[in-house]
Amino acid sequence: MGEAIRVRARHAARGLDVDVTVPEGSMLAVVGPNGAGKSSLLQLISGDLVPDDGEVTVHGRTLTGPDVHIPPHRRAVGYLEQRALLFPHLTVVDNVAFGLRARGRDRRAARARAAAELAAVGCADLAGSRPRELSGGQQQRVALARALATDPEVLLLDEPLAALDAGVAPELRRLLRTRLRGVTTVIATHDLLDVAALADRMVELTGGRVTAEGHVDDLCQRPASAFLAGFVGVNLLHGDTHGDARVWLAPTIAIAGAVDGDLPPGPARAVFAPAAVAVYRAATHGSPRNELPAVVVAVEDRWPVQRVTLAVAGQRIAADLTPASVRELALAPGDDVLAVVKATQVALHPG
């Protein structure tokens, strides 16, 4: 696959310094904490943000560079945001046809294409409606039709499902998946479901820098940062290994696990699910399981489980317990306990 988008840019006021590429026809997910620069990266591609220096190329053509800045409306870039922002005074079909008309298509051709795009997102019957008559999910479908009607070279999605009801989002996610197959797309999202369902590759931004980059499967199965581990919903402990299927978190505290591939001596990490962690008050002698000394940091109701946050060798992990076991143990912040995890539930990775 060739490279469709390359962004190599610095923007001091946004704290941004990135080098990101997107292969032709693939979807790149951009994740990271609030303020990490996800929207700013999208704006560099759309042309809404001009970098201090650097370059934005699409299919080898420079859209932004030392002496060039093609304005947003002259880029073949589609944009879908949290809110559809349809023109309230135009009918649905004219909203979708608007971009084509602006590009000089005659009214009949523009309307015909708009009608086809509406049909493709399941909204053919809404053509004559006004935007205010539509639900949030319908508006977002129309916005997708509008974005695709102009055959964009690149589509940018900025949290496209975040404002929708939980019941509507899955349907729209499925629609994005079918409609965007083969369209070079960059999606900024806080939702693991978007990444898992839609994206091929992902980058993690932290403070305006790329801190991880790779295939979605790799980054989700072997998260290398606390943010990615939290995003994926797993625990991550950093330490060192001597190469014997154990990761030392402190001079006297090690966690044993299963090694997938090689685990050479050096820095290593242990990954396991919150549901794999049990909490005990006292040692369960003779047990082949990991028993890590821990301090309770917080107990939070996440029905149907209680999420217990623990400090282990200066790092944080989560344990999901039943309400009954939390009551029985009478856990409270500051308590010394043991976090118990079976080695078979722990994956060890280098790095």
Ligand X SMILES: Nc1ncnc2c1ncn2[C@@H]1O[C@H](COP(=O)(O)OP(=O)(O)OP(=O)(O)O)[C@@H](O)[C@H]1O
172's tokens: 């729209």
Name residues contacting ligand X, limited to 91-120 (CB under 6 A). none
**How many residues form the binding site for ligand X (CB under 6 A)?**
11
Kindly tell me which residue out of 18, 39, 148, 194 binds ligand X, with binding defined by CB under 6 A: 39
Which 144-203 residues touch ligand X, going by CB under 6 A?
Answer: 188
Q: Which is nearer to ligand X, 230 or 293 (CB)?
A: 230
Residue 9-38 contact track with ligand X, rule CB under 6 A, x = bound: -----xx----------------x-xxxxx
CB 29 to ligand X: min, Å:
13
Cβ distance to ligand X smaller for residue 148 or 203: 203
Place of tokens 């996800």: 38
The DSSP output letter for 177 is H
Minimal distance, residue 235 CB to ligand X, in Å: 23
Distance between CA atoms of residues 142 and 145, nearest Å: 5
Would you say 15 or 23 has its CB closer to ligand X? Answer: 15
Q: State the number of CA atoms in the 13 A half-sphere of 222 facing the CB.
A: 14
Nearer to ligand X (CB atom), residue 40 or residue 235: 40
- Cα-based torsion angle of the residue sequence 287, 290, 291, 292 in order, rounded to the nearest 10 degrees: 170
Among 6, 18, 28, 40, binds ligand X (CB under 6 A): 40
What is the bridge-based pairing of β-strands 305-312 and 315-321?
Answer: antiparallel
Least distance (Å) from ligand X to the CB of residue 82? 10
Q: How far is the CB of 104 from ligand X (least distance, A)?
A: 32
In angstroms, the Cα distances linking 188 to 17, 155, 199, 206 are 17, 11, 11, 13
Nearer to ligand X, 32 or 223 (CB): 32
Measured in whole angstroms, the distance separating CA 181 from the mean position of its chain's CA atoms is: 18
Does residue 51 interact with ligand X by CB under 6 A?
no
Q: What type of residue sits at position 29?
A: A
State which residue, 40 or 95, has the beta carbon closest to ligand X. 40
Q: Tell the smallest beta-carbon distance from residue 227 to ligand X (Å).
A: 11
**Cα(304)–Cα(312) distance, rounded to whole angstroms?**
24
Q: Report the distance separating Cα 231 and Cα 32, nearest Å.
A: 9
Minimum CB separation from ligand X for residue 43, in Å?
A: 7
Q: Encode burial over 41-63: b for 16+ CB neighbours within 10 A, e otherwise.
A: bbbbbbbbbebeebbbbbeeeeb
Least spacing, CB of residue 35 vs ligand X, in Å:
4
Beta carbon nearer to ligand X, 38 or 179: 38
Report, in Å, the least distance between residue 157 CB and ligand X.
Answer: 12
Contact 137, 171 (CB under 8 A): yes
Give the interface with ligand X as residue ranges (CB under 6 A).
14-15, 32, 34-40, 188
